Amino acid sequence: MKLKGAKAVHYDSGPNMTPLVDVVMVILIFLMLTGSFGAAAHFLPSSMPIKATGKGNIDKDKIPKVPDPQLEIFVTSKDSTVYVARLADGVQYVNGVSQTGKTLVQALTEKRQAHQAGGKKADTLQVVLCPRLSTSFEHLMSVYQAAMQAECPKIGFQSARD
């Protein structure tokens, strides 16, 4: 006596996916519930009193200081006898004199005085000379001497940004 069911075609349907679907649905429901509660509050409520000085003690020496303002002068040599000094406001001084007749020393003195008139110390203004690679040393020193005559206390050099 043979059973016909033993010879019937048996299809392998793979692993049982029901537990996986159950776990994914539980995680999805959990995330939907927690996400909806967190969306209503933008800030965490606190019962701490508000103080003008704050809660912590801050060491004032560890606070980064704002860098001093810079007055950049771009120096270019046209040839062996002519140089151009251009301030950040766009005014050009050919051999130390602008088209209006104002000298570079006068312009730097006015900038220093305007800085001091704003209630700041003169030594907080930094004059930065930015020579190009083709600028001769003599021309750069002429601009440096103009800054010294304008009594600018901080004069520095920076590589050119061509």
pLDDT at 97: 86
Amino acid at 45: P
Separation of alpha carbons 141 and 128, rounded Å: 13
Question: Would 24 be classed as within a structural domain?
Answer: no
**How many domains, in total, are found in the chain?**
1
Question: Would 39 be classed as within a structural domain?
Answer: no
CATH code at 96? Answer: 3.30.420
pLDDT at 151: 86
pLDDT by residue for the chain (162 residues), tens only, comes to 566 666 667 677 788 889 999 999 999 998 888 776 555 555 566 666 666 666 666 667 777 676 667 778 888 888 778 888 888 778 888 888 888 888 888 888 888 888 888 888 777 888 888 888 888 888 888 888 888 888 888 888 887 665
Q: What is the DSSP letter of 25?
A: H
pLDDT at 24: 95
| pTM listed for this prediction | 0.56
Structural domain harbouring 72: 68-157
Taking alpha carbons only, the member of 125, 95, 120 closest to residue 109 is 125
Question: Would 116 be classed as within a structural domain?
Answer: yes
How are beta strands 92-94 and 83-87 bridged, if at all? antiparallel
Phi, psi at 49, each rounded to 5°: -70, 150
Angle between helix 104-117 and 137-149 (nearest 10): 40
pLDDT at 128: 85
- 32: tokens are 């939907």
pLDDT at 107: 86
Question: Would 127 be classed as within a structural domain?
Answer: yes
